[in-house]
Structure 1
Amino acid sequence: MKPIFISGIGTDVGKTVVAAIVTEALGAVYWKPVQAGFDQGTDTEWVAGRLSDPRVLTETYKLAFPASPHIAARREGIRISLDRIVEAMPADGPLVVEGAGGLLVPLNEEEFVLDLVKRLDARVILVSRNYLGSINHSLLTAAVCRANGLDVAGWIFNDQYLDYEREIAAWSALPVIATIPFRQDPDEAFVAAQAERIRGRLEACLLASA
């Protein structure tokens, strides 16, 4: 099974919540190789606290400054290496990888998150949060995927706002895997319930895109 890469249409769209739900649904290992900013804890810590079997990997790069990873790394006098991340990826078992921001977030001066997706040979799940402007951001993200030949399983949406989801799916020609309802503070019970609810559809979409 290819790694599953969770990428969003931008920041604060619910990637970490979705990553936890997908990890729980697949009985997978969670990994966020690049973390930038952790004043209030890391995404890995958050996910670990909400899984029934908290199998998580340590970040390859854990950067203190909350900014684009290439800037955060530069402030610490290092350069993010995709080779190092690929070498750290486990060889066995289902793996859910959470990206940093969107696909065109720079990891260093020449390479972006989408380059990491390619290097990991991962299947992508795109996360979109319904808000005014999300059609444009979603379709731009889908266009980047097509232009770069990424293997996309489909969309997972957060919140509900008007009727954007069907239109985004139709215009992007990518299926809707699930919609996750808004929860102010998603806990372990919420993650488990959503994982159970979407498991069948998630597995079907992953098989269809294989």
Structure 2
Amino acid sequence: MSKRVFITATNTGIGKTFTTLSLLQECETLGIKAGVFKPIETGVAQICNDGTKLLEKCQEFNNNFRKFMVGDIVPYRFTLPAAPYVAKKDIKIDIDFLLEKIDILEKECDVLFIEGAGGLMVPVEKDIFMIDLIKIFDSTTLLVTPSRLGCINDTLLSIEALKRRDINFEWCVNLYEDKDSFYEVTFPFYKDYFEEILILQNDRKKILERLLSS
């Protein structure tokens, strides 16, 4: 069985797909055969934007994934750009079905990156949230946080939620918003509060190695 890594974030629009694509590239550099899975994507019009990007990049590096279509990588696709619970309307998200998909995909790779939708507390069903899928899928986790003003609160709340559920995780900053002021506005607290701050753009290899060894 391959290593399962769940990519989550403090909210939507933080850069989960960008992070996953970056880690796919790093896997190629290190000679690791990677796979991708995005259980649910919302806001899908004619094409599945995130799922297509993930699959095409994965297929560049892993020939085993060239037999898969976007529907294999993103089994649940909904038009409304909303939380899965809202976007799915009357459709039930079948967890066993998702686990079956994971079993198929992970046979073709050494590490399977599973990308969530939105943040940790985004509802999938009334009593199932994105954070619950991490344990259901028996995966380790990478929490992606933004560099914009206000990110300290979101980062600490998300880390607290993961710790309360005893979930094994790493976290990193995606340095893209307010990046010119990040080291003045946010970094001083992070430096004093955390033992180490990993920046996606600088520490991609270290992030991947931590995830694979956890």
Q: Alignment RMSD, CA only?
A: 2.4
Measure, in 2, the Cα distance between the counterparts of 1:166 and 1:86. 41
Structure-to-structure mapping, 1:94-173, within 5 angstroms: 94-159=111-176, 160=179, 161-163=181-183, 164-165=186-187, 167-168=189-190, 171=193, 173=194
Structure 2's unaligned 5+ residue stretches are 28-32
1:20 aligns with 2:18: no
Identity, % of aligned pairs? 24
Scaled by the length of structure 1, the TM-score of the pair is 0.80
1:206 maps to what in 2?
Answer: 211
TM superposition shift of 1:50 = 4.0
155-164 vs 32-41, greater mean Cα deviation: 155-164
C-alpha contact 2:40 2:117 (8 A) present in aligned 1: yes
C-alpha contact 1:153 1:174 (8 A) present in aligned 2: no
2:35 maps to what in 1?
Answer: 29
Structure-to-structure mapping, 1:53-68, within 5 angstroms: 53=61, 55=65, 57-68=72-83
TM superposition shift of 1:23 = 2.1
Measure, in 1, the Cα distance between the counterparts of 2:101 and 2:212. 26
Aligned counterpart for 1:48 among listed residues 52, 55, 60: 55
1:191 maps to what in 2?
Answer: none
- Residue 85 to residue 167, structure 1, CA distance change in 2 (3 Å): farther
Higher helix share: 2
1:5 maps to what in 2?
Answer: 6
- Please identify runs of 4+ aligned residues in structure 1 that moved more than 6 A: none
TM superposition shift of 1:168 = 3.6
1:53 partner amino acid: F
Structure 1's unaligned 5+ residue stretches are 181-193
Scaled by the length of structure 2, the TM-score of the pair is 0.78
Q: Deviations over 1:157-193 (max 9, x none)?
A: 232242224634753x57434332xxxxxxxxxxxxx
